[in-house]
Amino acid sequence: MIQEALRARSRKLESEVPRPSKNVEALAPYDAVSSLAAIKSLPKGVVPLKLDWNESAIPPSPRVIEAITGFLSNGHHLNWYPELNAPRVRAALSNYTGVRPDSILVSNGSDDALDLVCRTYLEPGDDVIVAWPTYGHFLIYVKARGVQPRLALSEDPFSVPTSTILEMIRPETKLVYLPSPNNPTGTVTSPGDIASLCRAFPGTMFLVDEAYYEFCGVTSASLVASFPNLVVVRTFSKCFGIAGLRVGYLMTGPVVMQNLRKLYNPKSVNALAQIGAVAALEDVDSREAYVAQVRASREQFATALRRRGAEVHVTQANFILVRVRDPQRLVMALESAGVFVRDRSRMEGFEGWVRFTVGTVSQMHDLVERIDVLLETCPGLLEPMAS
């Protein structure tokens, strides 16, 4: 009798558990497929090539390690909160970007910056346009605000999205998300196009995601001083090699900055992340050497794949794309050789494409050798998708 009463009470309590907001309840979790478990289970002696998330393919600058270990060994206190608003990081970023320190906000990864913009500016029913295909996690931030974004999908996914956006945009459009270089297409939108959009639609927020800026060198950062409806977001995860520390930043004008700071948590960037970010920015030689390696290996790897019959699209970011008849088969075969890449073929308008992060010249030579071994037993592995 007592047990039955307790079970009944338990069922009642389950029905009374607080529910999430309607906007969140309707969401499916972001499908972030991680290869870390598979990497840990590789046979001893197999060197993994983790080329699926576009992180830096090498460890960060030695200066980053030295700065962090120096901090930990000199009696500093991890029991204290970090420096509020990351002032030293903002000063270093100002030197790096040419943007004023008070126009820079440092975040817990660029995802945090993207989410902050959405939480600050979006309300249910707002009109939001997203260049597509692109970074899928951004859709979660938009939908969590009760907004169903409209996808700006061109007939050619590799075309610059400006004309498609111009066809779709309305005077009441609240926000346009426009990564450059885009992920996964690698398409770069010129600062001239960004300026024209900002000028033509002053009531629309243009959110330019420059996560891969260092690999192409094209930026709209200088425009934030002229256009109050522009936000430019970047990350330390791709070029600087500190994805695990989670550091990103945004650049914008004073009006938007004032609004963003209303929800911004000034202690959200941890002490080790702040120290690592400053050290990474200071080591110019390491950064430039890595970017040069990626640019060189990007072209060499693409050439090697084309010689083996693959359809390849080279981007201005740190990845290339290969379009094959059977993407899943390619991904699984590579995984069996300790290589982890990203199947992007399920994205609307991007059927058949598999994304390869590009690392150093030696890493990509290693990858080509592993592909050659696989082709001996799977000769059609790189067969292009039928037109």
- Judged by DSSP in three states, 259 sits in helix
* 216 Cβ neighbours under 8 A, 6+ residues apart: 181, 188, 316, 317
Q: Where are the domains of the chain?
A: 24-53+285-377, 62-282
Q: What is the pLDDT of residue 77?
A: 79
The model's pLDDT over 256-311, given as tens digits with 9 standing for 90+, comes to: 999 999 999 999 999 999 999 999 999 999 999 999 999 999 999 999 999 999 99
Q: What is the pLDDT of residue 34?
A: 77
Q: What is the DSSP letter of 226?
A: T
Would you state the structure tokens that stand for residue 197, as one six-digit string? 């959009």
Alpha-carbon separation of residue 277 from 7, 103, 143, 362 (angstroms): 53, 18, 31, 27
State the number of CA atoms in the 13 A half-sphere of 229 facing the CB: 18
Q: Indicate the pLDDT class of residue 19, thresholds 50, 70 and 90.
A: confident
Mean pLDDT of the chain: 94
Q: What is the pLDDT of residue 387?
A: 66
- Judged by DSSP in three states, 95 sits in helix
Residue found by looking up tokens 């002696």 in the block: 45
Q: What is the pLDDT of residue 273?
A: 98
Across residues 228-240, what is the average pLDDT? 98
Has residue 75 got a pLDDT over 90?
no
The domain defined by 62-282 folds into Aspartate Aminotransferase; domain 2 (3.40.640)
Has residue 239 got a pLDDT over 60?
yes
The model's pLDDT over 106-159, given as tens digits with 9 standing for 90+, comes to: 999 999 999 999 999 999 999 999 999 999 999 999 999 999 999 999 999 999
**CATH number of this structure's domain 24-53+285-377:** 3.90.1150.10
Q: What is the pLDDT of residue 9?
A: 63
